Amino acid sequence: MPRDGTATRERILDAAERLVIENGFSATSVDSVIDESSSSKGAFFHHFATKEELARALVERYAAADVAHLHSALATVTAASDDPVEQAVAFVRVFEDTADELMGAQSSCLYVSILTERQLADAGTSEQIVEAIVAWRDGLAPILRTVLEARGKPEIDADDLAHHLFVTFEGAFILCRSTGDSRHMRAQLRIVRQLLESVLA
C-alpha cells in the first residue's frame, strides 16, 4: 500500500464522488464523506483544506477520466477504419454498447451535480468542465467536418453536431435519474447514432 497518502486521498475522492452524484454537493457534508470513506477528519483536511478544494479535485479527476474515454474511443475507431462516416458512427456506438455498464457504475453525471451549485462554478470548477466539453467537441468535430464538406452540407455546423453528443449524454443522465430507468441512456445514444447515420448519408 502506498505510504504517501495516495490511497487515502483516492478513497476520499471515490466516496465524495458517489455522494455528490447521488445527493448533490451542498447536501454532502464533510462528515458524510469521512464516514463513507472510512477515513478521519485529520486525513480529510490533510488532503483538502476546504470543501471547495475537494470539489475542484473531484472535477479535475472526473474530467481527466472523461477525456481519457474520449481519446480511447477515438483511437479505437480511427484504427478500425479510414472512412470518416464509419468512424463517426462507430464512435457513438462505442458508448451505446457500454451504456449499461456506465449506468451501473453511476446514477448521474458529476458535471450536472457541480454545475447546479453556483458557488462551485465561481470557485473555478466550471472551467475544468468546459475544457472537457471542448475536448469532446474538438475530438469528434474534425471527423464530422470532413464528411459534411464532402457531402456538400454547409448548413450543418460540425462543432454544433459534435456538441449534440455531449448534450445527449447529459440529457440522458437526467432522464434516467428522473424516471429511475437506466435503459434510457442506451436508447438515447442509439437515436443519436441513427440520426448521425442519416445526416452523414
Instruction: Please give the Cα distance from 12 to 47 (Å, whole number).
Output: 9
pTM for the whole structure: 0.91
Domains of the chain, first to last: 1-49 (1.10.10.60), 51-199 (1.10.357.10)
Say which residue, 14 or 117, is predicted with more confidence. Answer: 14
**Per-residue pLDDT tens over the stretch 134-166:** 999 999 999 999 999 999 999 999 999 999 999
What DSSP assignment string belongs to 92-135? HHHHHHTHHHHHHH-SS-HHHHHHT-HHHHHTTHHHHHHHHHHH
**Per-residue pLDDT tens over the stretch 80-93:** 999 999 999 999 99
**Per-residue pLDDT tens over the stretch 41-96:** 999 999 999 999 999 999 999 999 999 999 999 999 999 999 999 999 999 999 99
Q: Helices 158-179 and 183-199, interaxial angle, to 10°? A: 160
The pLDDT of residue 109 is above 60: yes
Q: 475542484: which residue's cell? A: 56
